[in-house]
Amino acid sequence: MKRGGALRRIVVLGFVFTLLSAFFFAVAGPVAKTMYEIGWTPGAVVLVRLAGSAVLLLVPTLFALRGYWGEVRRHWGTVVTYGVVSMAGVQAFFFLAVEHLTVAVALLLEMTAPILIVFWLWARTRKRPGAFTFAGVVVSLIGVVLVLDLRNVSLDAFGVAMALAAAVCLASYFLVSANTTIRVPPIAFTGLGMCVGALAAVVVNAVGIMPLRFVAAEVDFAGARVSWVVPMILIVMFTVGAYFCGIVGLRYIGATVGSFVNLVEVPFSAIAAWIILAEVLTPVQLLGGVGILGGIAFIKWGDVRLERRHALERRSS
């Protein structure tokens, strides 16, 4: 009974931390987009976001790494991948996307990451997903088509491509964050990733891949005029909270379940974008969003059924 109670507490904690991570990620997008209105570029937002987070986490990271430097050396490749792809990549592609799309549309396209995880695990393990999983993939893809709302001639192809690139990076984030073989403390892993991501952002901006422009002016934030410093502080704090809570939560409940729970980021973000930016989805896009979320629910249901079947097969053998 004690073991079962401890397991339930771990699962509950995993859900709580993953929900907090989704909330922080959701609010950061609309907050960052307010900076574009005064002339900031995505490159500038990403650089300040990652560099500020790295500085904020520097002391806690060094403190948490005592006795774990050997783990860092053993997994240095994963740390670099996490920083470049899961941090710099996710943020750069997503913020490039929201420069050309509404926050909700960009996020719904990014949320196709669980579909990519399904195909990745299928290719890696050679185990074919179940019928429910396939059904979920089909429903989600139909939802993507509706979210794109092809009747809307103002839809930006570059923004769509950037959002889908962010989905690839997000899939990597879920897989790496859920890796329980990496025993580096979550706060230290987050801090190291931020440092790597900040360096990657510096390189990308220095070579001119992403334009870099900062503007010191007041920002229209949820109907009020505030200094640009306010949203940037919020972005840094939300970023640290999102990645730290995400690592803790995903190590408890895994990548598949975590990517499913993370879907609450969509309504969180839609509400935040409505309050902060006055952005709303069209009825067709709302239907598409329901399709994407419903399809991913089917994917999760299929995973659960498959896991139960494999467990029964192991017991019978």
What domain count does the chain have? Answer: 1
Contact 128, 277 (CB under 8 A): no
Q: What is the pTM of this model?
A: 0.73
State the chain's mean pLDDT as an integer.
80
Distance CA 95, CA 104 (A): 12
Rg (CA), the chain: 20
Q: Mean pLDDT throughout 267-282?
A: 75
Q: According to the model, what pLDDT value does residue 136 have?
A: 73
Q: Quick check: 122 pLDDT over 90?
A: no
User: Does the residue 186 lie in any domain?
Assistant: yes
Poorest-confidence range of 84-88, 113-117, 169-173?
Answer: 113-117
User: Does the residue 303 lie in any domain?
Assistant: no
Domain of 97 in residue numbering reads as 2-111+154-279
A 10 A CB-CB count for 314 gives 8
User: Does the residue 117 lie in any domain?
Assistant: no
Contact 187, 57 (CB under 8 A): yes
More confident residue, 14 or 141: 14
User: Does the residue 274 lie in any domain?
Assistant: yes
User: Does the residue 273 lie in any domain?
Assistant: yes
User: Does the residue 32 lie in any domain?
Assistant: yes
Q: Mean pLDDT throughout 200-226?
A: 84
Q: According to the model, what pLDDT value does residue 111 have?
A: 76
Kindly indicate the confidence band of residue 200, based on its pLDDT and cuts at 50, 70 and 90. very high
User: Does the residue 234 lie in any domain?
Assistant: yes
Q: According to the model, what pLDDT value does residue 117 have?
A: 79
Contact 172, 91 (CB under 8 A): no
Percent of the chain clearing pLDDT 90 (strictly above): 8
Percent of the chain clearing pLDDT 70 (strictly above): 84
Kindly indicate the confidence band of residue 199, based on its pLDDT and cuts at 50, 70 and 90. very high
Q: 51-66, pLDDT tens digit by residue? A: 988 888 888 899 888 8
Q: Quick check: 25 pLDDT over 60?
A: yes
Bridge partner residues of 226 (DSSP): 219
The winner for highest mean pLDDT among 196-205, 269-278, 287-296 is 196-205
Give the contacts of 18 (CB within 8 A, at least 6 positions apart).
Answer: 245, 246, 249, 250, 253, 258, 261, 262
HEC assignment per residue over the chain? CHHHHHHHHHHHHHHHHHHHHHHHHHHHHHHHHHHHCCCCCHHHHHHHHHHHHHHHHHHHHHHHCCCCHHHHHHCHHHHHHHHHHHHHHHHHHHHHHHCCCCHHHHHHHHCCHHHHHHHHHHHHHCCCCCHHHHHHHHHHHHHHHHHHCCCCCCCCHHHHHHHHHHHHHHHHHHHHHCCCCCCCCHHHHHHHHHHHHHHHHHHHHHCCCCCCCCCCCEEEECCEEEECHHHHHHHHHHHHHHHHHHHHHHHHHCHHHHHHHHHHHHHHHHHHHHHHHCCCCCHHHHHHHHHHHHHHHHHHHHHHHHHHHHHHHHHHC
User: Does the residue 21 lie in any domain?
Assistant: yes
